[in-house]
């Protein structure tokens, strides 16, 4: 050991233990340097990954299956999509509900059970508002204010025009070989839809609907007074909110119908065992490739920083500790042993890993958390992904830091395991008031 190092160790042995906040500040300084280095490694590593055959194959398969599903759902009428550049973007479910509630309003205005001409009464009693001559004209005019709406025109509800009814009565019968999508259990498609519709609205069904006398026509009709309420409260009409509760009850029924129908489609044997299975397998492999690149990049960047600084400065000093004049020695006032350096390096490697969480908000992810949510390990029914690992590590870091707050010599659990102190060279040969009052640890 050279003379300068001997002097440093001798000074550290006479110094006070580093305070937790100063220790945390040194770690923060190190974290900034580490982050820049590992992000640079990851960005470069990801660029290399993008050139590999496995990465591009899984990426293409994921896109293919996603596009296939969008086309499938669009074909079933269970969702609306708009084309944006090279992909289709799904409309929100509340728009789906609005479309079908609008159709119900138009149907009810033409159906005897709900009272013919409720729209005419609205026009008569609301003279301050100028309405078009027909509901169809009104809704077509209203919807024209929105760009890229996937509905050419509004038509009254029917088994063909209502989107949920279309799925159960038109789409499934043509694509249900061997009950692949749905077993009607002896029911006719229209009967099954009727029961599904009533079940979705449950206790509210009798409040809002009546069955049609003619079973060949669409079976559900909104009551006359309800029609007027939801007409004025419609989110897209922006006229009145007095009927919001009624509108939301009906919208929630459509959300349930849409969700249940889409589950049937996804769980169908043909789709689930082929397209969805292919999607899941490639999605998982794609995510694993990204996570592996992330971990390797982190290890290269972290170890390059950690080992380089400690080899240059000695006594477990990193840049942060060097700036703040902190160093590590054993309980006996000696240099830290190699085996303890290895232990400390391993623990530091784990503790700094959550820094990679920030990558979520930077290129190439830009707040896309998909790769961080891919299951890495399954323990029973528990699926472990990166976000869970981050949480576990952060809890360990917190426990380790709290230990420094509670112990006399400001020791973390890692310090105790390696029988070392972190000392502050700013305070040499100063009386330890805590030691005088409490005694040595």
Least confident of 151-160, 368-377, 384-393: 151-160
Q: Look at residue 267 in the predicted model and tell me its pLDDT.
A: 93
- 213 CB neighbour count, 10 Å cutoff: 10
Largest CA-CA distance found in the chain, in angstroms, rounded: 103
Going by C-alpha positions, the residue among 339, 345, 351, 352 that lies closest to residue 316 is 345
Residue with tokens 């590593």: 45
Confidence (pTM): 0.81
Calpha distance 272→265 (Å, rounded): 9
Q: In the predicted model, is pLDDT for residue 116 greater than 60?
A: no
State the pLDDT confidence band at 131, using cuts at 50, 70 and 90.
confident
Least confident of 52-61, 237-246, 347-356, 390-399: 237-246
Q: In the predicted model, is pLDDT for residue 100 greater than 60?
A: yes
Q: Look at residue 441 in the predicted model and tell me its pLDDT.
A: 34
Q: Look at residue 436 in the predicted model and tell me its pLDDT.
A: 43
Residues with Cβ < 8 Å from 100, sequence gap 6 or more? 157, 162, 163, 164, 254
Per DSSP, helices labelled H in 314-370 are 319-324, 338-351
Query: In this predicted model, what pLDDT tens digit does every residue of 37-78 receive, in sequence order?
Result: 999 999 999 999 999 999 999 999 999 999 999 999 999 999
State the pLDDT confidence band at 206, using cuts at 50, 70 and 90.
confident
* Mean pLDDT, the chain, integer: 87
């Amino acid at each position: 050991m050279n003379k300068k190092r001997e002097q440093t160790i001798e000074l550290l042995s006479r110094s006070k233990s580093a305070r937790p906040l100063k220790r945390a500040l040194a770690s923060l300084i190190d974290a900034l340097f580490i982050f820049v280095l590992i992000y640079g490694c990851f960005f470069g590593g990801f660029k290399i990954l993008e050139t590999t055959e496995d990465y591009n194959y899984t990426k293409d398969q994921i896109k293919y299956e996603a596009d296939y599903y969008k086309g499938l759902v669009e074909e079933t009428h269970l969702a609306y999509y708009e084309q944006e550049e090279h992909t289709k973007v799904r409309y929100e479910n509340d728009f789906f509900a609005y479309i079908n509630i609008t159709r119900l309003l138009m149907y009810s205005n033409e159906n005897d059970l709900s009272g013919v001409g409720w729209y005419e009464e609205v026009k008569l009693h609301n003279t301050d508002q100028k309405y078009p001559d027909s509901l169809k004209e009104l809704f077509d005019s209203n919807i024209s204010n929105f760009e890229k709406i996937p509905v050419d025109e509004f038509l009254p509800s029917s088994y063909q025009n209502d989107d949920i009814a279309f799925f159960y009565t038109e789409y499934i019968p043509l694509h249900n070989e061997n009950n692949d999508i749905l077993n009607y259990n002896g029911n006719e498609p229209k009967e099954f839809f009727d029961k599904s519709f009533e079940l979705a609205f449950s206790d509210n069904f009798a409040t809002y609907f009546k069955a049609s006398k003619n079973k060949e026509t669409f079976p559900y009709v909104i009551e006359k007074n309800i029609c007027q309420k939801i007409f004025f409260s419609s989110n897209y009409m922006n006229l009145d909110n007095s009927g919001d509760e009624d509108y939301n009850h009906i919208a929630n029924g459509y959300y349930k119908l849409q969700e249940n129908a889409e589950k049937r489609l996804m769980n169908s044997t043909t789709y689930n065992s082929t397209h969805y299975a292919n999607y899941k397998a490639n999605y998982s492999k794609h995510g694993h490739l990204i996570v592996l690149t992330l971990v390797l990049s982190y290890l290269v960047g972290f170890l390059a920083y950690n080992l380089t600084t400690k080899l240059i400065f000695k006594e477990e000093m990193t840049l942060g500790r060097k700036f703040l004049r902190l160093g590590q020695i054993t309980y006996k006032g000696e240099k830290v042993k190699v085996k303890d350096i290895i232990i400390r390096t391993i623990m530091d490697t784990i503790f700094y890993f959550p820094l990679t969480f920030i990558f979520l908000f930077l290129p190439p992810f830009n707040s896309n958390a998909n790769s961080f949510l891919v299951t890495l390990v399954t323990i029973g029914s528990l699926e472990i992904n990166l976000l869970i690992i981050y949480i576990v590590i952060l809890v360990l870091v917190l426990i380790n830091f709290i230990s420094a707050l509670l112990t006399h010599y400001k020791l973390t659990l890692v310090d105790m395991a390696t029988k070392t102190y972190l000392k502050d060279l700013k305070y040499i040969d100063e009386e330890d008031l805590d030691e005088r009052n409490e005694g040595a640890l």
